[in-house]
Structure 1
Amino acid sequence: MTDDHYLARGPRVGIRRFTAADRDEFTARARESAELHHPWLYPPDSDDAYDTYLDRLQEPQREGYLICAHDSGRIAGFLTVNNIVHGAFRCGAIGYGAFAHAAGRGLLGEGLRLVLHHAFEELGLHRMEANIQPANVLSLALVKRAGFRLEGFSPDFLFIDGAWRDHERWAITSEMLPPAGAR
C-alpha cells in the first residue's frame, strides 16, 4: 500500500479506510483471531458479514479504520468510531481489535493514537469513549496507555456473546491527548 492511501502514518503503522478489496484479508485475519477476540468481540469473518459491516461504516455516524503494518502491508487491526455526534457534544465511541499475528507488538496502540489525532483534528471531535468489559485486561491496558481516564461503570451495558455485559466507561478529550510525535 502506498503512502497516499494512508490518512495518517506513524513509525510502524498507517491508518486507512476499509474497502471492499480488504474483504479476503480481513475475514481471514478475523477467523485466525477468533480465540484472541472471544468473548469480547466478533469482527466479520465471512464475505456477507464483511459486506454488511462495510455498508454500516458508510453511515454518517460511523468511521472505520484499518491499522496496517508498514513492514508487511498486512492489516494488523482495526478501529471504528461509532455513534458520532457533532454539535455541542462532538463525541464518538470506539471499538477496536488487533489480529493475532500482530497482537502484543504495540501496533494497535500506535494505530489508536493515529485515529485519535485524526478524529480530533480532521473530524472535529472533542471526546472519544471506550466501553470495556472489566475482565478484558488487554483492552483496559490499551486505553490506559493511550491516556484515557475511567469515568464510570455501566451494568448490563451491551449485549455480547448471548448476554448483557457490564462495562467500564473510559474517555479521552482532545486536551488530554499528547502531541502526535510524543509517546
Structure 2
Amino acid sequence: MWASGLWPVTLQASGITLRPLRMADRTEWMAVRARNREWLEPWEASNPQPGGTLPTFRDMVRSLTRQAREGSALPFVIALADPAARRAPIVGQLTVSSIVWGSALMATLGYWVDQEHAGRGIAPTAVALATDHCFRELGLHRMEINIRPENAPSLRVVEKLGFRYEGLRPRYLHINGAWADHESFALTAEEIPAEGLLGRWLASR
C-alpha cells in the first residue's frame, strides 16, 4: 500500500506548501518556535516519565523521517508563498502520525501555526490538503484530530472543515506538564465531498 504514496512528497494549494521537514530547517524552525513560545506552550506535549525530556530537533527529524520511510507518518512543515522571499518561509508544522494500514487504514493529524499568521485560513487549508492526500493518494479511510477543549483556534479549524465530533477523551495526552483531556474529531472517506475537503473549504471562503 505504501508504494502508492511515496515519501517524500510535496503538496501545494492556494499559496500554501506542505513539504518534508528536514535537518536543514533547524535554524528557521527553531526561530519560529522561539518567537511563538508563549503562544504554543499551553498545547505542547511533555514527557511524564521521571526525568523525561522532549527530543532535540535533530532527534525529532531523524525519528519522523524514519517513520515516514516506514509508512507510519508524514512530517510536513507548512510554508507560505512570499514574493519578497527567496524561499517560502516556514509558518507552521503539520504531522500525520500513527498511520495504521491493514483493516484500519487510519491516521491522526496534528498541527501548529505561527501566531503572526493565525486566522488567515492557513491551518484549515493545510489540514484539508493533507487529509485529501491521505484519502485519495494513500487510500486511508479515517483521519482523526484530537484537541484540548480550551484550544479555541484549533477547534475552529475542525469546525470549518466539517470534522465530526466523537467525544471527550479524559487525560488523553501529557500536555505542558499534566495529563490533559482532549476532544476527538474525525472524518472517514465516505464523508469527503466529490470536490475534496480542500475544494469544499476553498469554495466556502
Contact 2:45 2:173 in 1 (8 A): no
2:100 to 67, 81, 85: 85
The amino acid that maps onto 1:97 is W
1:172 matched residue in structure 2: 187
Distance 1:182 1:62 in 2: 25
1:163 to 178, 184, 187: 178
Displacement, 1:42?
5.5
Comparing 58-67 and 125-134, the one that deviates more: 58-67
Q: TM-score, normalised by structure 2?
A: 0.79
2:77 matched residue in structure 1: 66
1:55 to 62, 73, 79: 62
1:20 matched residue in structure 2: 23
Displacement, 1:66?
1.2
Distance 2:117 2:60 in 1: 22
- The secondary structure found in structure 2 opposite 1:54 is helix
- The secondary structure found in structure 2 opposite 1:80 is strand
Contact 1:147 1:176 in 2 (8 A): no
**Identity over aligned residues, as a percent?**
36
Cα separation, partners in 2 of 1:138 and 1:173, compared to 1, 3 Å: same
Displacement, 1:22?
0.9
Distance 1:144 1:12 in 2: 22
- The secondary structure found in structure 2 opposite 1:38 is helix
Distance 1:160 1:99 in 2: 19
Q: TM-score, normalised by structure 1?
A: 0.88
1:41 to 36, 40, 44: 44
Displacement, 1:101?
2.6
Contact 1:151 1:170 in 2 (8 A): yes
Please give the residue correspondences for 1:123-142 in structure 2 after superposition, counting only pairs within 5 Å. Answer: 123-142=138-157
Contact 1:156 1:167 in 2 (8 A): yes
Unaligned runs of 5+ residues in structure 2 are 1-7, 47-54
1:9 matched residue in structure 2: 12
Distance 1:67 1:78 in 2: 5
Distance 1:30 1:93 in 2: 22
Contact 2:45 2:174 in 1 (8 A): no
Q: Which has the higher helix share?
A: 2
1:121 paired to 2:136: yes
Contact 2:143 2:187 in 1 (8 A): yes
2:125 to 98, 110, 116: 110
What CA RMSD, in Å, does the superposition of the two structures yield over aligned residues? 1.8
Task: Find runs of 4+ consecutive structure 1 residues off by over 6 angstroms.
Answer: none
